[in-house]
Amino acid sequence: MSVKANIPDYSMPAEQVPLYQPQFLSEADKSTLKQEIADNLKARGAVLVAHYYVDGDVQDLAEATGGCVADSLEMARFGHEHPAATLVVAGVRFMGETSKILSPEKRVFMPTLKAECSLDLGCPPAEFRAFCEANPERTVVVYANTSAEVKAQSDWVVTSSVALPIVESLDAQGKKILWAPDKHLGHYIQTQTGADMLLWSGACVVHEEFKAKALFDLKAVYPDAGVLVHPESPAAVIDIADVVGSTSQILRAATELPHDTFIVATDRGIFHKLRQRNPGKRFIEAPTAGDGATCRSCAHCPWMAMNELSTLAAVLRNDTLLAQNEIHVDPAIGERAMVPLNRMLAFKA
């Protein structure tokens, strides 16, 4: 049973989503910046941890300098387990905060702290506390795309890689669940597990834009294509998918499935890795156009786009700018948030 909570809609209106236009760089500029960043990472004893949605050059640099490119779960794990005392997280703010919570002794920096996430913004801690207090009998499961303060109020943190088996196991223990913030992911998990879930009503501004009708029409043009969908997408889009999964699960499916063409419904940043790992295969963006589409419907997260080579280079070049982009988490909140995060990392399906 999936129940929509009696709370306001916390999806971000399209006009509030920032427009972000990355700077154009020549190949020569890119290679100069990459070298400078690599030198500064080394000089600062730092490792670069990047998400699959950020600029392809930043992803390549993370790998070339001994860091990693990963989904939000593996970013958290990698940053925690890596011996470096300094982490530079290229992603959005909750990813930097998660790294800091798991490794409070490390210094964690980001190219910019302006890199938000509509799910995080759509789950204000005070309102979320009231929601939890109104439903004390429920086990609180929150998506990793939330602030440290929201995580600190939860029993479990999950990412889209592990949300299904964790909710399945809680359901098997007879637990009723309070889920936040993504209503689409929550609905998908509920339909897959049959768990009793009370849902918050946030959404991802990128995935919410994928259109089922247009995807259906595109599939008719490429009838042999596999359809890979991130579960932050609306239910009607998920219904058309061959595989529904996190970024890393989408990447795995693209390699393992026999199709030579795929239509992919997730942020377009992932196409860099999809094409790198599968040079013989063809990847097509799932459509965002259709009724209700806005000029912001570009399938690229404006906050992930802020992780540019030039921004990263500027921050690592200048101590003042670096200090301004350091992640700080209140130690008491961090200590509380570490408990549900560690539960997730220790979970074995």
Per CB under 6 A, residues contacting ligand SF4 are 92, 117-119, 145, 204-206, 232, 267, 301, 303-304
Residue 305's binding partner, choosing from ligand 13P, ligand SF4, none, with beta-carbon cut-off 5 to 8 A by kind? none
Positions touching ligand 13P (CB under 6 A) are 71-73, 145, 159-161, 204, 232, 246-247
- Report the nearest approach of ligand 13P to the CB of residue 244 (Å): 11
Nearer to ligand SF4, 41 or 244 (CB): 244
Residue 49's binding partner, choosing from ligand 13P, ligand SF4, none, with beta-carbon cut-off 5 to 8 A by kind? none
- The secondary structure of the chain, three-state, reads CEEECCCCCCCCCHHHCCCCCCCCCCHHHHHHHHHHHHHHHHHCCEEEEEECCCCHHHHHHHHHCCCEEECHHHHHHHHHHCCCCEEEEECCHHHHHHHHHHCCCCEEECCCCCCCCHHHHCCCHHHHHHHHHHCCCCEEEEECCCCHHHHCCCCEEECCCCHHHHHHHHHHCCCCEEEECEHHHHHHHHHHHCCCEEECCECCCCHHHCCHHHHHHHHHHCCCCEEEECCCCCHHHHCCCCEECCHHHHHHHHHHCCCCEEEEECCHHHHHHHHHHCCCCEEEECCCCCCCCCCCCCCCCCCHHHCCHHHHHHHHHCHHHHHHCECCCCHHHHHHHHHHHHHHHHCCC
- Report the nearest approach of ligand 13P to the CB of residue 294 (Å): 18
Structure tokens at 259: 């199709």
- Report the nearest approach of ligand SF4 to the CB of residue 175 (Å): 25
Nearer to ligand SF4, 199 or 301 (CB): 301
Residue 160's binding partner, choosing from ligand 13P, ligand SF4, none, with beta-carbon cut-off 5 to 8 A by kind? ligand 13P
Nearer to ligand SF4, 99 or 118 (CB): 118
Residue 327's binding partner, choosing from ligand SF4, ligand 13P, none, with beta-carbon cut-off 5 to 8 A by kind? none
- Report the nearest approach of ligand SF4 to the CB of residue 258 (Å): 29
Residue 72's binding partner, choosing from ligand 13P, ligand SF4, none, with beta-carbon cut-off 5 to 8 A by kind? ligand 13P
Residue 246's binding partner, choosing from ligand SF4, ligand 13P, none, with beta-carbon cut-off 5 to 8 A by kind? ligand 13P
Nearer to ligand 13P, 55 or 71 (CB): 71
Nearer to ligand SF4, 89 or 117 (CB): 117
Nearer to ligand SF4, 231 or 340 (CB): 231
